[in-house]
Amino acid sequence: MKLRVFTIATLLVGLLVTSCDRMEPDLESRLYTMTVKAARVETRALTEDSSEIPTIIASTWTAGDVIEVWTSDGSSAKYGELTAETRGKSTTFSGTLESLPSDGETLQLKYLKDDYSFQDGTLTGNAKSIDKVSDHALATVVATVEGTNVTTTDASFVNQQAIIRFRLFDKSDFSDLNATGFSISINGRSFTATPASATNIFYLAIPEITLDMTPLTLTATTGSKLYSWSYNGNFVPTSFENGKYYAVGVALDEYSEATNTLEWLKMKAMVGDNCSSYLGWYVDKNGTISPSSTSDAIGRIAFISNSDVDVAAPGSRVLVMALESAGENNASYSWKVSAHPEDQTEAAFTDQSAMNGLAFCDKFHSDEYPAAKAAYEYAAARPEGASGWFLPSKGQFNAMMPVASEMLRKESTVAIYWAATSGSMGNAWCYLLYTDPEGINHDQWSSQSKTRGGNSKTDAFNARSCFAY
């Protein structure tokens, strides 16, 4: 870098760009040098400072930290990456860009990605410590461009997550609970830490979220034993705010003896165990699961998730399909267009809600879609803690195959079942199971209008309920 660049950089607070020593006249083919002064507010990875009350996380940069330079929305275009020169609460980042921002353009600076899936429960010192993988922070600056030189306003990075220190206790005697895995599920999204060795202290980075009256479950495993704690009321603190540090102690109940229950299965899924062998098992009204049907059986386990994806309702990992179709005598159900048909597609739901038939019905249908209404009002008792009965989306139907196909095919050689979601304006997705006279199965999705859509095989469009746990 030229001497004049360093001279200007010492006088300016913010961002400076100058051209490298290249001879090409084409401006777009050059690499541009960029420096920016950057500070962190309050939390920064990561040292606990107990001299403050309450305790805070002291803020420091480390030499070698890398930030990315993006357009203002953080996604349209990436200009390049910069590297921290020194350690401290404030430092200078420098690097190269492949193109120049415009004069007056707002830039977004990113530190680490918003990925919280690889935590090991520690603050620092390991490859999966929060400071290495989850200490995501953003800053916004405004660029002033003069030739190939750019200056900006100061960069002040703000953490995009809270850091929580969990201390685990065994509720039976309030001794320390040394766990080999720990997970918190909040409103359907899970954050899991897998430590190098058993510990009762876990640090987790969690994006800002309100906890008041939000379904929340903590799960820990100690080898063969499972522990859990759930809450749906007033949790203290009432929220995890970005850039803040919290210390929480929680006592968990042991569930090692509660095998063969829906609660036990859900916890097994949360801590990452392979539960596929339980697909097709029967569930009774008390939540007991078994490989064969009983007089109290109400449904069969058709889907189990080991990921953070919300498959049906907040905090749920398991989908159970009813043993019988909803409604009197498997009556026909017509599709009725929502008041907002342009939103009435699965594409209108993003991220974890893409498969959420329960949310789709609540948002679009209410009582106006008879098949959804029949699913809501399905009379079979449900286990405590389960969601209400609802009509599954097309995505959930697909997720529940082949258990759903095996169950539904027993009812008729031709059977059609409505989904909660629509294929297009005024049309609902429905699943057709047809076995021809030669015994060959023909299964397919179709988008049907208010009646049977000209299908001459049958008039019986059924509503098959499911619930989430």
The pLDDT score that the predictor gives to residue 332 is 61
DSSP letters of 149-214? EEEESPEEEEESSEEEEEEEEETTTTEE--BSEEEEEETTEEEEE--SS-BSEEEEEE--EE-TT-
pLDDT in tens, the chain (469 residues): 222 222 222 222 232 222 233 333 343 434 677 778 888 654 443 555 555 555 667 768 889 999 999 999 998 999 989 999 998 888 999 888 888 899 999 999 999 988 888 899 999 889 999 988 999 999 999 988 887 777 788 899 988 999 999 999 999 999 999 999 898 888 667 788 999 999 999 999 999 988 877 777 888 888 778 888 877 666 778 889 988 888 899 999 887 556 788 888 887 787 667 788 899 999 999 999 999 999 999 999 999 987 656 566 666 789 999 998 887 655 566 655 444 444 455 554 444 444 577 777 666 665 556 777 788 888 899 998 888 888 888 888 888 988 998 888 765 667 788 888 776 666 778 888 887 778 787 788 877 765 443 343 445 678 889 998 8
CATH number at 162-257: 2.60.40.1120
Number of Cβ within 10 Å of residue 158's Cβ equals 14
Q: Domain residue spans in the chain? A: 3-116+127-160, 162-257, 319-468
Rounded to whole angstroms, the Cα distance separating 429 from 369 reads 13
Main-chain phi, psi angles of 150, to 5 degrees: -130, 130
Tokens of 88: 């401290």
The two structure tokens encoding residue 246: 């919290």
Region of 340 (left: φ > 0; alpha: ψ -120 to 50; beta: rest) is beta
Q: Helix, strand, or coil here: 437?
A: coil
Distance of CA 419 to CAs 171, 249, 410, 429, 456, Å? 43, 43, 19, 5, 20
C-alpha 22 chain-centroid distance: 46
Predicted pLDDT of residue 330: 53
